[in-house]
Chain A
């Protein structure tokens, strides 16, 4: 077990959005979904400044960081945040995913996913039918943590 403490099988998960994004229904939904899957969620709410995101993740040392953004700036802001997260020794290998509506030009942009992955995200979930793959990803983590 590398991250957090996953006793009774649940993961410690930080659910967050990015600094410019005031939407929260997506965060409410993700918290309910993850809690129903048996995980413990810290939900950071709307418009999370980079410094607060880093401080909370360093304090909690979660098993998973879920970044959700739907205002179209998620791609830009995700690329800004992920190097800062990876620069923290305790978060260097923490599974970190991003999803939502990440750009202003629609969902089908393979370059966007590639850029985000190579910048350090472990997975990218674009809006539209992405709940099942997200669940699979989280289920995969749980089994990895339990090993």
Chain B
């Protein structure tokens, strides 16, 4: 097997964590330079082409106008640049030793999938739930239909001997404050959806949350459930460095990234998507991304030399995740229909998600121990699975405090703490 999944599997066999940036520039020459710098970093890397938000939302006219006017775009407009331009960006850069993945954030990604395939790429990410509910108002049933067609398109190149790769974004719902069991459930359900529509090389995401031990327990559970339900496909776990309100100090940002790398190693993930020290302030430069890749790789290597810590105690994450997954699978043999029905019934219900198709009856909270807890489970079939009381539902001040908890904690641990602002800035757009 060749391709993205095979590259990650080979690195894992060799004992290296694959590290990957988020990176996208409108101009072809700068995009190529960014990929070359990623490839040249002192780490085992894969490349990223992150798309702009006009392409993400399907407004290709706006992307074309912005490109023609030289106006700023916040990513690479892959469906607007002529295919020859994108091929030239990749020529001599992307190959079996440096696979490149397209990251986009689209609820309706058909044009994006067509464009990346035309350019010779075959690795991307997202999902019918994770790129629909948090970021817009596309009806879930429409996103499911678009993602089904997109998966089938991507999978169709398998007949030419390629092994296209698709990563779930479901491990990141809302960027922060989503308890791990629901992240695991959505990540697994999206992976099963991908497999149902023809993909055979899949990665399952999980975004670093607020407590390392809770995250380790979650990753171990995700790995076990994936081994069981996706045994017949090439698969790996991918960790996202924290996707919520990021530390403002360079020291705090770096400590958080290093913790993400350690989590990836301890939790059995094969790949990590990094964040930079610029995260709280602006889109990072290529040099900042390279430093983040190298820092993460070094932290992962150091973690591998340490004795393995004892497995974290079972706090019920896996039982909750299995209950959620089982309830959805029981609804319909067609995963897409099952997902739509699950959200309509509130069996899946993402806390703080305002999408019209999300029931909105669940709430999460941060405990005094820094772990995420359910404050209200709505109609999700997990009531009573975990013992102990539920923390109270957050008010506005408590919500702001919870959203900036990680930022405060890591800025406080940084060698030279930056002045903390009164309210968190740069609330996450994620992706």
Contact = CB atoms under 8 A, between A and B. Distances in A.
A45 B423 CA distance: 21
Contact of B399 (A24, A32, A48): A32
Contacts of A128: 421-423, 425
Interface string B417-431: 000011101011100
A22 interface: yes
Interface residues of A, number: 24
A55 interface: no
A127 interface: yes
Dominant SS among interface residues on chain B: loop
Interface residues on B, range: 20 to 34
B15 interface: no
A28 B352 contact: yes
B355 A45 contact: yes
Contacts of B135: 22, 46-47
Nearest to B352: A28
A35 B101 CA distance: 43
A46 B352 contact: no
Contacts, number: 63
B281 to A, nearest CB: 11
Nearest to A70: B427
Nearest to B175: A25
Given A22-B135, A128-B421, A45 B427 contact: no
A51 B269 CA distance: 45
Looking at chain A's contact residues, is the secondary structure mostly helix, strand, loop, or mixed? loop
Contact of B428 (A20, A25, A29, A47): A25
A45 B354 contact: yes
A20 B135 CA distance: 10
Given A36-B395, A43-B354, A25 B425 contact: no
A46 B396 contact: no
A25 B134 CA distance: 10
A22 B136 contact: yes
A22 B400 contact: no
A23 interface: yes
A27 interface: yes
B53 A20 contact: yes
Interface string A31-52: 0110010000001011110000
B353 A24 contact: yes
Nearest to A30: B396
A146 B354 CA distance: 31
Contacts of B421: 128
A70 B430 CA distance: 13
Contacts of B403: 25
Contacts of A24: 134, 174, 352-354
A25 B356 CA distance: 15
Contacts of B57: 20, 47
Given A24-B353, A24-B354, A28-B352, A47 B427 contact: no
Nearest to B422: A129
Contact of B396 (A22, A23, A32): A32
B427 A46 contact: no
Contacts of A23: 427-429
Interface of A: 20, 22-29, 32-33, 36, 43, 45-48, 70-71, 101, 127-129, 131
Interface of B: 53, 57, 134-137, 174, 352-356, 394-396, 399-400, 403, 421-423, 425, 427-429
9 contacts: A22-B429, A28-B399, A32-B394, A32-B399, A33-B396, A45-B356, A47-B135, A129-B422, A131-B423
